Structure 1
């Protein structure tokens, strides 16, 4: 079955969305200095950036462990299917059915992951006040506007 080119672009866009959300939610080393969003460091402590109260931090931290565990397991499954996909593509005699099966498996895992991320964002949203929601939304939108997929980076001059 020959898939149209737009499905590959849709898959890449979905991956970019997932990566942006993961980066914004998961990576939180040291607290950032208070500066405007365009100058924010790549890695920031999201709880500090959002200025969560102690009660909000407790609620936020209760939401994270299961989400992060599921996300890590999902990424591992996606990586395994990607490796298999690449091996099928570069095999001596590529098997289109096997390629399509791996692509479908990756798409299903990404869809499940995207639903997890959406559920997590909705849960986190319920913890935040209006100003904090705006800060998180602005951060996510800024990150999405800056990101590229690894495949895009590989093919740039």
Structure 2
């Protein structure tokens, strides 16, 4: 190997190692933050004790319902994929599975909206504005399909 190739390999290795170290550092920071037992959003909005109690009262049932909803959506999505790639194509089964999936997604969206409305009642005006900004800054996640087709 020539010197330029070795130098390039060394730089690539160094960058990779730095990336790994940065990821481990970030993970430790995240673990320390979550080890406090206080959810990030509670800390971010600086909820007082009363607000934290109210938040906890509505958060646990919401997360349980959201997780159940997410699982149902994943199962229905898988069923739709199975229908799309079945040996015998059945357009009616595909339409029915798609309709059910859309209904489940719509219910989940409604669930989230209802939770945000409950949270809104707990927060003061400044906290509501802060939460709204946090939500607006979230970028929509790329779907797995987009990732598979673009990478």
What TM-score, normalized to structure 1? 0.69
Selected match of 2:141 from 124, 144, 147: 147
Gaps in structure 1 of 5+ consecutive residues: 1-27, 33-43
> What corresponds to 2:57 in structure 1?
62
| Rg larger in structure | 2
The one of 111, 124, 133 equivalent to 2:128 is 133
Q: Give 1:29 deviation, angstroms.
A: 6.4
Q: What is the distance in 1 between the residues matched to 2:120 and 2:31?
A: 21
Does residue 79 of the first structure (1) align with residue 95 of the second (2)? no
* Alignment gaps of 5+ in structure 2: 1-29
1:103-118 mapped onto 2 (5 Å cutoff): 103-118=98-113
The question of whether the paired residues in 2 share the 8 Å contact of 1:88 and 1:99 is answered with: yes
Partner SS for 1:92: coil
Higher relative contact order by CA 8 Å / sep ≥ 6: 1 or 2? 1
Q: Measure how far apart 1:156 and its partner are.
A: 1.1
How large is the Cα RMSD of the aligned pairs? Answer: 1.9
Q: CA deviation at 1:59?
A: 0.4
TM-score where L is the length of structure 2? 0.72
* Cα deviation digits, residues 92-139 of structure 1 (max 9, x gap): 121111111110001111111111110000000110111111111111
- How far off is 1:150 after superposition? 2.3
The alpha carbon displacement at 1:146 in A equals 5.1
**Cα distance in structure 1, aligned partners of 2:124 and 2:149:** 42
